[in-house]
Amino acid sequence: EQSMCLAVQAPNVIVMDCKPDPRRYTFDHVADINTTQEAVFGAVGKKIIESCVGGYNGTIFAYGQTGSGKTFTMLGPLDDGDDFRHELRGVIPRSFEYLFNLISREQEKRGDAVEFVTRCSFLEIYNEQIFDLLDTASTGLHLRENIKKGVFVDGLIEQNVTSAIEAHQVLSAGWVNRRVASTSMNRESSRSHAVFTLTIESKEKKGGVMNIRCSQLNLVDLAGSERQKDTHTAGVRLKEAGSINKSLSALGNVIMALVDIAHGKTRHVPYRDSKLSFLLRDSLGGNAKTYIIANVHPGSKCFGETLSTLNFARRAKMIK
């Protein structure tokens, strides 16, 4: 039995057992070990999906060290093959279900006046290279930007989906490719960021004019955030560690810059410092909504990493 370094004190307060004085952190929501997957989705998913249907960009990402439960939170248990319908399914499959429920409600309410088109893509960022998980032959793809689309991945496959079941199928296909790549190419999944993006387009006719609204929802399973203390890391692993540290610290720097701006400072936001932060640019700043799930391990042996994750989340909470 290992000792614990964390205690949930209230639905939004977590306490870290530090010496000499415990540290108290307040967040929007703290989920203890008895929290159901449904409750986690209720806390992070519903509002952001409602605002995406209303035309805003949104991002939900899980941040934390390897083994803290990020993939379980975002996808669910992976030992059931590709069944994303079971009770323990995570934020991503539940997002599909909620999104398509909202769309069908809107269509029932407004009939032919509104038409929704939903597309999805699934990519992985590994060693600062972008791979399309829906195209096994894809090699490093490039990020581009233009006025119309903002930041996008050139050549990335986008599949039209008309139901949660179809979106589940795309997720399953991509997830299998992620696993295959992780065994055949040493691309271990906890060493890469996976980004599933839903693009929601609504066309509405008002007084003979067609209004088109387009928004994106990014669902992100980040690589493990642990610092590579192990000096014996060499070769491939060293390169992976460097890339992960680069992209997560770039994400942290973007968040710090956005916090400064929220407090009235004028400063440059270094989105281009990593593929991940540049890809998420249009969903982190401006009128976008972002939910960060900070996954922590309560065991004392993870004290340092847990402290670092909680501090990251506390900084991020200051963005207005």
Q: How far is CA 181 from CA 66, 131, 158, 177, 225, in A?
A: 18, 10, 20, 6, 21
Residue-level length of the chain = 320
Amino acid at 189: S
Answer yes or no: is 67 a known binding residue. yes
Bridge partners, residue 216, by sequence: 199
Bridge partners, residue 61, by sequence: 220, 292
Answer yes or no: is 265 a known binding residue. no
Answer yes or no: is 65 a known binding residue. yes
Answer yes or no: is 66 a known binding residue. yes
Answer yes or no: is 71 a known binding residue. yes
List of residues 6+ apart from 29 with CB closer than 8 A = 11, 12, 43, 44
Answer yes or no: is 3 a known binding residue. no
Determine contact, residues 216/282, Cβ cutoff 8 Å.
Answer: yes
Taking the chain, what is the end-to-end CA distance rounded to the nearest angstrom?
A: 41
| Among candidate residues 53, 59, 57, 54, the one with its CA nearest the CA of residue 74 | 59
Number of C-beta neighbours around residue 293 at 10 A: 22
Q: How far is CA 162 from CA 48, 99, 200, in A?
A: 20, 11, 11
Please tell me the distance from the alpha carbon of residue 4 to that of residue 7, in angstroms, as a whole number: 8
Answer yes or no: is 233 a known binding residue. no
The annotated binding site is made up of: 64-71
The annotated binding site for ATP is made up of: 64-71
